[in-house]
């Protein structure tokens, strides 16, 4: 079961993120793991869960904003379906590969065909990859993966 949840963040507000609380909870979960493989599984699932919150935010905006719905669903400027599929596939791959994919997704969102989409997410109080950068850093640091 994932540790990451809305109790550790408040929308898009990076300052409201409880990184230390999350790190402590994650370290406790890792201490309970009997093997390194179990620890890696926990960390991988955490990275996927953090990313799901971003994808869920995009889905919520699609429901609320007709223009965004057209851009994402009809024109495919943000590959939302592909991202969801990647997350399911990556749950069986290494943490390094997962980190690479998350970095790629961040670039697609920030530099994609919708140049202002992160701004739209900000207006709707939705988290982005930048909002959760400290959570990702915590996960990958505990895994021993450098930026």
Percent of the chain beyond pLDDT 90? 36
The CA distance from 9 to 30, in Å, is 21
Q: Which of 4-8, 27-31, 46-50, 71-75 shows the lowest mean pLDDT across its residues?
A: 71-75
What confidence category does residue 63 fall into, taking pLDDT thresholds of 50, 70 and 90?
A: confident
The pLDDT of 64-81, averaged and rounded, is 76
Residue 102: the pLDDT is 86
Residue 113: the pLDDT is 53
Q: What are the structural domain ranges in the chain?
A: 45-147
Model-level pTM? 0.86
Kindly report, residue by residue over 82-115, the tens digit of the pLDDT.
Answer: 777 777 777 778 889 888 888 888 887 777 555 5
- Say if residues 17 and 131 touch (Cβ distance below 8 Å): yes
Q: State the alpha helices, DSSP H only, in the chain.
A: 19-31, 36-64, 66-69, 80-90, 95-111, 117-123, 133-142
Can you give 103-127 as a three-state secondary structure string? HHHHHHHHHCCCCCHHHHHHHCCCC
pLDDT greater at residue 110 or residue 121: 121
């Amino acid at each position: 079961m994932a540790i990451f949840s809305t109790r550790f963040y408040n929308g898009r507000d990076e300052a409201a993120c409880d990184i230390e609380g999350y790190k402590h909870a994650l370290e406790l979960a890792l201490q309970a793991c009997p093997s390194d493989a179990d620890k890696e599984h926990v960390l991988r699932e955490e990275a996927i869960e953090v990313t799901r919150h971003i994808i869920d935010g995009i889905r919520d905006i699609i429901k609320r904003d007709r223009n965004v719905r057209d851009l994402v669903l009809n024109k495919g400027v943000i590959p939302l379906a592909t991202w969801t599929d990647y997350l399911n596939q990556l749950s069986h791959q290494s943490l390094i590969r997962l980190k690479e994919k998350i970095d790629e997704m961040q670039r697609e969102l920030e530099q994609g065909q919708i140049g202002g989409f992160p701004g739209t997410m900000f207006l709707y109080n939705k988290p982005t990859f930048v909002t959760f950068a400290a959570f990702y850093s915590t996960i990958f640091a505990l895994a021993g993966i450098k930026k």
